[in-house]
Chain A
Amino acid sequence: MSVTEQQSGEAPGRPARRRGRWRLVKIAMEKPELAALVLLFLLIGAFQVLSNGVFLNFNNLRGLFGLLPEVALVAIGVTLLMICGEFDLSVGSVFALMPMTMAVLMVDGWPFWVAIGAGLGLCALIGLTNGLITIRFGIPSFIVTLGMLFMARSLTVVISGGFPPRLRMDEIPAWLFVDFVGPGGLFRMSFLWFLAVAILVSLLLSRTNFGNWVRATGGFLPAAQATGIPTARVKIACFVLCSMLAGFAGMIQTLRIGSALPSMGEGLELQAVAAAVIGGTALTGGIGSILGGVIGATLIRVIDNGMVLSQIDSNWFKFAVGGLTIGAVVANAWMRKRARAMKVET
């Protein structure tokens, strides 16, 4: 339908072209990630000035792009799960458990690829457990995954035996995950993995029937059930995917720093939730986008990095992320309300 066609028959008042523009404004304002995107550009500009032009220089971008995939991969899984109406606080612990499992198995003589498979399998199992308990017993996933946060962290320390296992980096094709590639080595391989996962999950959510079920399940569970969607299985699939992405991200960090530490990823679960929320994902489910989660994760990395470069006391980092989270939710709620109030078409 063309714009002019839509306006025919409408009460005279504002000129047609102006109403057309309002329609675009409304569509833009309904995009949940818009506020975060605007803020991202503002912050990049601010840090560029505050750091006397260091922020956007090649080496800093290289560092930024090197770290981003780790938190962003976790944020992607958490965002998907939140859109599905559930929550995962165990991702930070799974982030550490997966590479620790892999490292311990490799010390025992398992080949790298088998150890990776076992690690990811364990993540899938944790996701499955989170999902099954949440659904079977009708408990909020907040509680179930809070329990799993402690259990997975404890397991990580137990299997490490108190000492980080030594990774024989020469046996590991680490280049596949952390080598620098691209123009001048601007990106690490992990960035390509992240990009691929982001695009795939994004397409899964927006272009497939499964994505439709995820949105319906998180948007309004009774309607999803009444239309015959297997909502339990949809949720469990999202739990599993979320856990596996967290484990995969942890493995990338381990290969980057060359060692599996039991304390990796502490507090990451809340950063991931913050990233999703900053990116416009609603805590109630149904609303949000993968792009939003990625933008949210980028914002957090940019703040962390930009503050250091601007010589701001880095103890303000958490304050900034916290303020941003609250600010983003308020801004999103306000914009959604305003967009809804704009009666340009129904």
Chain B
Amino acid sequence: MLDAGAPDAIISVRNLHKWYSGVHALKGVSLDFRRNEAVGLVGDNGAGKSTLINILAGLHQPDEGEVIVEGSRVAMRGPRDAMDLGIETIYQYNSMVPSMSIARNIFIGREPVLFSIGGFGILDEKRMRRESVQAIADVDLHLRSPDALVGELSGGQRQGVAIARAMHFRSKVMILDEPTNHLSVKETAKVIGFVRGLAAQGVTAIFISHNMHHVFACCDRVVAMALGEVVLDRRIDETSIDEVHAVL
């Protein structure tokens, strides 16, 4: 295909298809995610949202169609490829290892090392602690020690650390997979406030949620999916919660 996506898009997908053992999970999805835009992705269970973001996160590969990042076609073989392209995904549960410290969690898989032989090396723990403190402070989270175990944090604090991690590695696109599930009202407000502030920091957000109010509170655009297809794609100010509900 010659179409390289919309010119101002940071990620475009064209005609994405994905089958899972006979189930046609994505049926030719084409979408553009523009720079500094917050896009809400809504839809019922099984609508194809997770399949789409798993492809964008590099966890799965599409059976057909293409993913275009900043104008060039990419074939991501794993989550690491996506991260290297500046795409960070924050999962509802899967982002953190509870039995490890905040500093260790922030750098999992991307540990700074003092020196390395064949990719293995001694951790630069001083730097990890220092940069973790900074990263946490940057997202306005107040935690006393980078050595605290993530398992001791509240759900909202954990999301905060995951977001801090994504920001620290200067992601261009942040995919947030139902980040407000099981959070208290106060913590939800904080996450929503954070997503709203991403554009100012030059980050594109893809916000997946079941809760339409959360999407309308922090997104510029809403994309609704049903049965593996995009059924609605509008700017927030051109649509309403009722209209989105109607198509789902």
**A contact residues vs B (CB 8 Å cutoff):** 1, 6, 30, 207-213, 215-216, 219-220, 222-229, 282, 286-287, 340, 345-346
Contact = CB atoms under 8 A, between A and B. Distances in A.
B96 A220 contact: yes
Contacts of B57: 226
Contacts of B125: 207
Interface stretch (B5-13, B144-152, B209-217): B144-152
Interface string B41-62: 0000000000000000111000
Given A219-B99, A220-B94, A220-B98, A227 B108 contact: yes
B98 A222 contact: no
Contact of A208 (B78, B122, B145): B122
Contacts of A220: 94, 96-99
B95 interface: yes
B112 to A, nearest CB: 9
Nearest to B93: A222
Interface size class of chain B, counting residues whose CB lies under 8 Å from the partner chain? 35 or more
Contacts of A1: 144-145
A223 B121 contact: no
A345 B57 CA distance: 34
B248 interface: no
A220 B162 CA distance: 15
A227 B99 contact: no
Is the contact region of chain A dominated by helix, strand, or loop, or is it mixed?
A: helix
A93 to B, nearest CB: 30
Contact of B109 (A6, A211, A227, A345): A227
A346 B97 contact: no
Interface in B124-164: 125, 143-145, 148-149, 151-153, 157
A6 B120 contact: no
B79 interface: yes
B140 to A, nearest CB: 16
B17 interface: no
A282 B100 CA distance: 14
A36 B95 CA distance: 32
A223 B59 CA distance: 12
